[in-house]
């Protein structure tokens, strides 16, 4: 099942930021969103992940199929790397975290508290979480922030393996991951024109 977005308009804080979005991500493909800061990429991804309602239009093939990774990694600093990953695996009904630990080179850090990791290591742990969700559509917001070149390569490898297994990925990133399966979508032409809202501001 493809992820399909039709005539989608999204709003941030009640103000429309993007409108008329049409794209689809087929299984085995990745779509990279591009656009300047503040153009609404994060808002779009949050809408697709179901965290906020769409202003208009619809998203098909999202919902329970999505694994979402935001700017924040959702790590508990008092828990170890293994405990953090195991928790998310259990939430998604899985139990095997070894592939995720190896995939993101976290084996040596497995027993360290997440609070003692560096920013890049935390990010790797946050991305490793995607692998334990078992969900087919990865929705990623700036996944490569604070990663070094080697870790970006690890991440690209994980995405490639995920795509080859029939999954798909939608991500906002400015780094070229060197994925052959990736298309690019520029959100700039879809920026919303200012419109007069019929709703009372107090209820937005």
Q: Is 91 in the site for other proteins (CB under 8 A)?
A: yes
Cα 79–chain centre separation = 23
Interface with other proteins (CB under 8 A), residue from 8, 17, 67, 182: 67
Interface with other proteins (CB under 8 A), residue from 15, 26, 79, 110: 79
Q: Is 75 in the site for other proteins (CB under 8 A)?
A: yes
Whether residue 170 contacts residue 137, with contact meaning beta carbons closer than 8 Å, is answered with yes
Q: Which stretch binds other proteins (CB under 8 A): 24-32, 47-55, 104-112, 160-168?
A: 47-55
Interface with other proteins (CB under 8 A), residue from 41, 123, 129, 160: 129
Q: Reduce the secondary structure of 64-102 to three states and give it as a string.
A: HHEEEECCCCCCCCCCEHHHHHHHHHHHCCCCCCHHHHH
Distance in Å, CB of 199 to other proteins, minimum:
14
- H helices present in the chain, as ranges: 41-48, 81-91, 98-103, 119-133, 149-164
Q: Is 66 in the site for other proteins (CB under 8 A)?
A: yes
Q: Return the number of the residue (23 or 87) whose C-beta is nearest other proteins.
A: 87
Count other Cβ atoms within 10 Å, centred on residue 11: 21
Q: Is 90 in the site for other proteins (CB under 8 A)?
A: yes
Interface with other proteins (CB under 8 A), residue from 92, 110, 120, 191: 92
Q: Is 202 exposed, middle or buried (0-12, 13-18, 19+ CB in 10 A)?
A: exposed
Whether residue 194 contacts residue 140, with contact meaning beta carbons closer than 8 Å, is answered with no
Distance in Å, CB of 85 to other proteins, minimum:
12
CA 89, 66, 161: angle at the middle one, nearest 5? 75
Q: Could you tell me if residue 140 is left (phi over 0), alpha (psi between -120 and 50 degrees) or otherwise beta?
A: beta
Q: Which stretch binds other proteins (CB under 8 A): 44-52, 100-108, 146-154, 164-172?
A: 44-52
Distance in Å, CB of 97 to other proteins, minimum:
13
Tokens 């005539």 -> residue: 7
Interface with other proteins (CB under 8 A), residue from 30, 59, 68, 144: 68
Q: Which residues bind other proteins (CB under 8 A)?
A: 46, 49-53, 64, 66-79, 83, 87-88, 90-93, 129
């Amino acid at each position: 099942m493809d992820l399909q977005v039709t005539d989608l308009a999204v709003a941030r804080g009640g103000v429309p930021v993007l409108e008329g979005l049409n794209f689809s991500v087929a299984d085995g493909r990745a779509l990279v969103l591009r656009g300047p800061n503040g153009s609404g990429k994060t808002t779009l991804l949050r809408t697709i992940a179901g965290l906020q309602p769409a202003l208009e239009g619809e998203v098909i093939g999202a919902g329970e199929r999505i694994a979402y990774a935001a700017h924040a990694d959702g790590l508990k600093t008092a828990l170890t790397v293994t405990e953090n990953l195991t928790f998310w695996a259990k939430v998604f009904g899985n139990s095997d975290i070894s592939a995720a630990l190896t995939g993101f080179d976290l084996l040596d850090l497995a027993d360290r508290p997440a609070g003692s990791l560096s920013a890049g290591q935390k990010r790797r742990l946050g991305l490793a979480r995607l692998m334990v969700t078992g969900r087919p559509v990865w929705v990623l917001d700036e996944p490569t922030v604070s990663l070094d070149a080697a870790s970006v390569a690890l991440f690209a490898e994980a995405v490639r393996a995920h795509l080859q297994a029939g999954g798909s990925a939608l991500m906002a990133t400015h780094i070229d991951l060197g994925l052959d399966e990736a298309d690019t979508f520029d959100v700039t032409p879809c920026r919303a024109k200012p419109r007069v809202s019929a709703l009372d501001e107090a209820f937005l």
